[in-house]
Structure 1
Amino acid sequence: MTQKYMSIEDFNETLKEWTGKTIEISKHELADDDNTILELTSISYSKDTRRLDEYEPMHTLQLNGSGEINTDEKKQQSLPSSLYEIPIEDSTIYKFEDSKFTLITDRGTYTIKLATDE
């Protein structure tokens, strides 16, 4: 098991190599768990300096592409837009371990890996 902590720059460069592939994103944020399958077409970031409160992130990782989210009822629904957003902070920890990324923020944990045909 190889674990590597990364800078955001290293994370960005490594994740870009997955463009054009199908990824799976698992989110555990507060009491909310979601799994999303996404055809990754591009990666971008946004910065919002006009936040209404501290819950809105200043920085957001945007995974662009079409996909489906698995709901609590074990049903799949199309994503409402061609964008999956992950809030990031200056304190976000980026790890790469066993062919998967883990982003740890104050709000939750996000895991990104290549999807498999199981």
Structure 2
Amino acid sequence: MSEMTNKSIEFLLKELNSWVGSEITIEKEELNDLDKNTIALSGVEIVRQLEDDDDYVDPYTIQLQGHGSVIKDDRSSVDLPLDSYELPLHQLESIEASAELLTIKTDRAKYTLKK
């Protein structure tokens, strides 16, 4: 990872750790598809993923820990499969932050996190 990427990741971790204890909404836009999730954020950490021959899984992710839900199109919800949500770090393009909003862009998707 480049020095700029390391600084961006450090900044992102600091921001997310300040949100621990909050209920957050995560919107992921990828190829004209929008996924929406909520999570009661209880922790944040960097996780190394298993090797992936297809280059689909990022080598490192930021894992948002806590109980969460997937919000369906009809506004009903189901529990997240795990008590976590992963944000990819590979090909991180930009991070924008305010008191209650984080926007993270990668080469594959745009993530908008709201407190």
TM-score with structure 1 length normalisation?
0.82
CA distance in 2, matches of 1:109, 1:29: 7
Aligned partners of 2:67 and 2:84 also within 8 Å: yes
Partners in 2 of 1:90 and 1:27 — Cα distance? Answer: 16
* Greater strand proportion: 1
Give SS of 1:8's match: helix
Report matched runs for 1:62-73 at 5 Å: 62-73=63-74
| C-alpha deviation, 1:97, in angstroms | 3.6
**TM-score relative to the length of structure 2:** 0.84
1:29-108 alignment, distance < 5 Å: 29-48=30-49, 50-97=51-98, 99-108=100-109
Secondary structure at the counterpart of residue 56 of structure 1: coil
1:31 Cα offset (Å): 3.4
Q: Displacement of 1:108 after TM fit?
A: 0.4
Residue type matched to 2:33 in 1?
Answer: D
Cα distance in 1, alignment partners of residues 39 and 55 from structure 2:
28
Higher deviation after alignment, 40-49 or 56-65: 40-49
Number of aligned residues? 109
CA distance in 1, matches of 2:48, 2:37: 23
Unaligned runs of 5+ in 1: 1-5
Q: What RMSD, in angstroms, separates the aligned Cα atoms of the two structures?
A: 1.7
Query: Following TM superposition, where does structure 1 have runs of at least 4 consecutive aligned residues deviating by more than 4 angstroms?
Result: none
| Contact 1:8–1:94 (CA under 8 A) maintained in structure 2 | no
Q: Which has the higher helix share?
A: 2
Distance in 2 (CA, whole Å) between partners of 1:51 and 1:37 is: 27
SS of structure 2 residue aligned to 1:81: coil
